[in-house]
């Protein structure tokens, strides 16, 4: 049988706000416990403490108000560079800052590349499309169609998707979460707090940090928090693609920061990549809400037989036993009477035929939704809400900066939109998710 992929309206059970706190976020597997485990151990208490919602809320508020106050200060002072920005120490810090983020982003991208290779089969591997969909939707458990582990939001328990009666091992390798997303994604979430230094570098150079810059940084904190906290399947794309773009972007800023001129088309290309990422990423995430697909499930034949019996027999086994006993005695009496003998009285030792209890299994195909928890759905909705206005802001910036004819040999709104020059790091691309 060919597995089928379906598109339908998401269940109302998933679209709840606020989302359930369950399950807790699973920390990465212990270092050395299996091939490709993280190089270091992150204690579970520290891992989950960092995902407390109060942390991104607090940092986002402090960041936004600081940017607002410092923008006002710069405006009052005529947007002049601060004295510290003219020192060698500051220049060295900016250079190291860019190098650090370029190297870190590249390391994250390579880590996620390996994660996806180990976790996600592609149709050319001999598997059909539903194997790929299953690997992208179910990010816990063993590799293989239907071999995932899912959290049942009705029972609040982890359980195997297709095997009955077995106890799930939450440390099992083979799918995206334990193969690397739990580790690289968590660190990438923390990196969003460090990246706000981009804004303060801009402000120290006497520039204004525009709405695009502030909104971008603030929204990225919450998007990554929700995706990792609720282990939402499409968050892998945020980490994977965004780390690739950041590698290019911070390498660009490192080069321009030391005075090397780069063609304007490269800067335009980075912005184009960012816009493409937003459009593809939000669409890809949204699809998860509507997808379900078929997987093979092992069902015991005994269980299936019981399900096929009349309801009255299944629900009232004592009545069914009496009924079957009377039929058995009636047949015996008829046979005895035909031989001219008296009827056979009921014998207490008579034993009814039992429903077969031999455990056999057969494969049936069950339709399963892509998402399992309200938190997974919430993270997707939050990212879509964040990316929609961000995409609009970037498109406006792109049109304003690259498509309109410059006036007086100056690109419009350079100061407002923070476009990077060879001497200053002020592009939205500079902070682009």
How many Å separate Cα 387 from the centre of its chain? 15
Identify the weakest region by mean pLDDT among 158-162, 195-199, 341-345. Answer: 341-345
Tell me which residue of 374, 405, 427 sits closest to 13, measured CA to CA. 374
Residue 321 and residue 328 in contact, taking contact as beta carbons nearer than 8 Å? no
At 422-433, the pLDDT tens digits run 334 444 444 444
For the CA atoms of the chain, what is the radius of gyration?
A: 31
Distance CA 401, CA 398 (A): 5
Distance CA 157, CA 242 (A): 33
Burial class (CB in 10 A: 0-12, 13-18, 19+), 105: buried
**Number of other residues whose CB lies within 10 A of the CB of residue 311:** 7
How many Å separate Cα 280 from the centre of its chain? 15
Distance CA 144, CA 325 (A): 48
Identify the weakest region by mean pLDDT among 182-186, 234-238, 356-360, 418-422. Answer: 418-422
Which range among 108-112, 128-132, 152-156 has the greatest average pLDDT? Answer: 108-112
292 sits in which H/E element = strand 291-300
Polymer length of the chain: 433
Residue 223 and residue 238 in contact, taking contact as beta carbons nearer than 8 Å? yes
Q: Residue 63: pLDDT above 90?
A: yes
Question: pTM for the complete prediction?
Answer: 0.80
Longest dimension (CA), the chain: 123
Q: Is the omega angle on the peptide bond into residue 4 within 30 degrees of 0, that is, cis?
A: no
Residue 149 phi, psi (nearest 5): -115, 130
Banded model confidence at residue 411, pLDDT cuts 50, 70, 90: very low
Ordered by start, the domain boundaries in the chain are 5-296+370-431
314 sits in which H/E element = helix 311-315
Report the pLDDT value the prediction gives residue 309, as an integer from 0 to 100: 52
Q: 21: which DSSP letter?
A: -
Q: Residue 295: pLDDT above 50?
A: yes
Helix 235-257 / helix 264-287 crossing angle, nearest 10 deg: 170
Q: Residue 336: pLDDT above 90?
A: no
Report the pLDDT value the prediction gives residue 287, as an integer from 0 to 100: 98
Q: Where do runs of H (alpha helix) occur along 156-263?
A: 176, 182-194, 197-204, 211-229, 235-257
350 three-state secondary structure: coil
Residue 289 or residue 359, greater confidence: 289
- Strand order in 291-300's β-sheet? 5-7, 291-300, 361-369
94 three-state secondary structure: helix
Distance CA 259, CA 238 (A): 31
List 221's β-bridge partners, or say none.
none
Identify the weakest region by mean pLDDT among 57-71, 264-278, 347-361. Answer: 347-361
Place of tokens 């990077």: 420
Residue 192 and residue 221 in contact, taking contact as beta carbons nearer than 8 Å? yes
Banded model confidence at residue 40, pLDDT cuts 50, 70, 90: very high
At 238-280, the pLDDT tens digits run 999 999 999 999 999 999 999 899 898 999 999 999 999 999 9
């Amino acid at each position: 049988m060919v597995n089928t992929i379906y598109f339908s309206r998401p269940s109302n059970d998933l679209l709840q706000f606020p989302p359930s706190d369950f399950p807790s976020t699973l920390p990465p597997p212990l270092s050395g416990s299996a091939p490709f485990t993280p190089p270091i151990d992150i204690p579970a208490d520290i891992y989950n403490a960092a995902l407390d919602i109060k942390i991104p809320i607090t940092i986002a508020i402090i960041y936004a108000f600081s940017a607002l106050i410092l923008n006002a200060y710069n405006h009052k002072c005529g947007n002049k560079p601060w004295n510290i920005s003219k020192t060698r120490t500051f220049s060295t810090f900016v250079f190291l800052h860019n190098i650090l983020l370029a190297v870190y982003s590249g390391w994250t991208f390579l880590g996620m590349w390996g994660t996806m290779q180990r976790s996600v089969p592609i149709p050319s591997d001999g598997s059909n499309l539903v194997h790929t969909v299953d690997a992208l939707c179910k990010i816990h458990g063993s590799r293989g169609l239907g071999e995932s582990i899912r959290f049942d939001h009705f029972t609040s328990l982890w359980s195997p998707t297709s095997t009955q009666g077995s106890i799930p091992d939450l440390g099992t390798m083979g799918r995206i979460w334990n193969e690397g997303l739990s580790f690289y994604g968590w660190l990438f979430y923390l990196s969003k707090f460090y990246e706000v230094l981009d804004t303060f570098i801009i402000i120290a150079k006497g520039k204004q940090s525009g709405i695009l810059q502030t909104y971008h940084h603030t929204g990225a904190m919450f998007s990554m928090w929700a995706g990792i906290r609720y282990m939402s399947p499409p968050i892998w794309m945020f980490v994977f693609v965004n780390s690739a773009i950041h590698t290019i972007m911070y390498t660009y800023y490192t080069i321009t920061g030391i005075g090397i001129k780069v063609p304007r088309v490269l800067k335009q290309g980075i912005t184009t990549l960012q816009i493409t990422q937003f459009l593809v990423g939000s669409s890809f995430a949204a699809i998860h809400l509507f997808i379900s697909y078929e997987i093979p499930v092992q069902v015991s034949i005994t269980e299936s037989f019981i399900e096929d019996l009349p309801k009255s027999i299944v629900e009232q086994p004592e009545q069914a036993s009496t009924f079957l006993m009377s039929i058995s005695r009636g047949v015996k009496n008829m046979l005895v009477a035909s031989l001219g003998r008296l009827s056979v009285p009921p014998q207490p030792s008579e034993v009814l035929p039992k429903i077969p209890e031999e455990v056999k299994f057969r494969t049936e195909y069950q339709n399963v939704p892509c998402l399992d928890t309200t938190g997974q759905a919430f993270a997707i909705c939050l990212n879509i809400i964040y990316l929609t206005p961000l995409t609009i802001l970037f498109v406006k910036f792109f049109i304003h900066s690259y498509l309109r004819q410059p006036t007086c040999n100056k690109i419009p709104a350079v100061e407002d939109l923070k476009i990077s020059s060879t001497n200053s790091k002020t592009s939205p691309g500079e902070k682009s998710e």
